[in-house]
Amino acid sequence: MDRSQVKLEEAHHRLLRVRSLDELVIVLRETARQIAGSDGIAVVLRDGAFCRYVAEDAVGPLWRGQRFPLEACISGWAMLNRQPAVVPDIERDPRVPAWAYKAASMRSLVMVPIGAPVPVAALGSYWCTFVEPDPDTVQRLQALADMATAALTRLHFAVA
């Protein structure tokens, strides 16, 4: 089993024990960058018609604490379309607001939705160089997002 699979397995066990959204976000933040080999990650929550960036682990600040309309950001696109967004070149993809990335050093990204049947969050992985994310990387990120979906479902029923 390679390092990424070990990290996914560890995340799975940790997500089975989370008792709050904050704990879930911590597991995502601590795992995603390692399994993707990326330079940064972001955890984004759906907040009505907006996306709220709640956590990040990156080489520099991204958008933690900021909100954007769902239709105006790639995390919103992933949630609204219920599928991963793979973006090898941020500047050339019309789904990405290039202005938001001007100050960031990010050039490529993958954004995967979290939640089913309706996504309520997204997990983004960013690279500072132009990268064509391979299907295995996207699959690992989506697997982590699916584990987070199960944890969110469990948390929701524990509160209800």
For 91-150, write each residue's pLDDT tens digit. 899 998 877 777 677 899 999 999 989 999 999 999 999 999 999 999 999 999 999 999
Q: What is the pLDDT of residue 30?
A: 87
Q: What is the pLDDT of residue 84?
A: 97
Q: What is the pLDDT of residue 158?
A: 57
Residue 160 clears pLDDT 50, i.e. is over it: no
The band of 157, judged by pLDDT with boundaries at 50, 70 and 90, is low
Q: Give the distance from CA 23 to its chain's centroid.
A: 15
Q: What is the pLDDT of residue 121?
A: 93
| Choice between 146 and 54, residue whose per-residue pLDDT is larger | 146
142, 84 contact by CB (below 8 A): yes
Tell the CATH topology of 3-159: Beta-Lactamase (3.30.450)
For 64-95, write each residue's pLDDT tens digit. 888 999 999 999 999 999 999 999 999 899 99
Angle of the 135-159 helix axis to the 21-36 helix axis, nearest 10: 170
145, 113 contact by CB (below 8 A): yes
The band of 155, judged by pLDDT with boundaries at 50, 70 and 90, is confident
